[in-house]
Structure 1
């Protein structure tokens, strides 16, 4: 029997930012959760397509993405997708956390990413969605 996986969409126009997010969180952020499968996208159109298709359990957005930042994308998803998956926004400065509140994000990561804090934040968000993937 295979272990269920959680599909995590990671959006940034910069591949190195996507890689740093994935590396910080890891493939299994907590022992009580299943493995994560990452879907990397570089455009807002790809974010919308994947979320609309229902393929995503968690969305992680780069708040500094260009030309459209993750905070605006988060707000759009939360306001337009009926059953929007949880959203985490990665910001560059602690002072930008208030913007993530405006964006209706479920959680915030701050660069430089601390692997322990990033994994725990993602694990908490996945647990709080009401149906954590069993180990």
Structure 2
């Protein structure tokens, strides 16, 4: 029997953006389909261009965008800033950063979280799960 405070895991749609297919695949592989037991399954949507990201986010239904800060020609940090400025009801935003000094750019972009590259297989799923919990209202598991 489940406790009254237990909530069913809510499915999420996560957009991953990079101009490099190997980065998109790495994010999907490291985070997986279910980054935590209390987070529902993820449906992944891949975008290879900044225009695709904007069109997909504008269409709605995206819970989280994972954006590559090193993507070319449009970087994920600039896209995060554009989405934040242009959309009142935006999805959560997480940016991939190659250098820790780039955290200030992530702050400028108003991203909700950062993931340093190379991706850590323990940290990345936890960060994505934390952001999804705050976005879709799944409570954190108390231990």
TM-score normalised by the shorter chain: which range applies?
over 0.9
Give the gaps of 5 or more residues in structure 2.
1-8
1:22 and 2:28 are equivalent in the alignment: yes
What is the aligned counterpart of 1:83 among 89, 105, 114?
89
Q: Secondary structure at the match of 1:109?
A: strand
Partner of 2:109: 103
Higher relative contact order (CA 8 A, sep 6+): 1
Residue pair 2:63, 2:135 contacting (<8 A) in 1 also = no
Find the aligned partners of 1:132 and 1:36 in 2 and give their Cα distance: 14
Residues 53-111 of structure 1: per-residue CA shift (max 9 Å, x gap): 11211100000000010000000000101200100000111121111011100000001
What is the aligned counterpart of 1:44 among 50, 53, 59?
50
1:72 and 2:86 are equivalent in the alignment: no
Query: Which consecutive aligned stretches of 4+ in structure 1 deviate over 6 angstroms post-superposition?
Result: none
Find the aligned partners of 1:9 and 1:130 in 2 and give their Cα distance: 15
Partner of 2:63: 57
Find the aligned partners of 2:138 and 2:87 in 1 and give their Cα distance: 21
1:13 and 2:19 are equivalent in the alignment: yes
1:132 and 2:138 are equivalent in the alignment: yes
TM-score w.r.t. the length of structure 2 is: 0.87
Give the gaps of 5 or more residues in structure 1.
none
Q: How many residues align?
A: 131
- How many Å apart are 1:4 and its aligned residue? 5.1
Partner of 2:123: 117
Return closer, same or farther for 1:6/1:54 CA change in 2, 3 Å cut-off.
same
Find the aligned partners of 1:126 and 1:62 in 2 and give their Cα distance: 18
CA RMSD, Structure 1 to Structure 2 (Å): 1.4
Find the aligned partners of 2:34 and 2:68 in 1 and give their Cα distance: 20
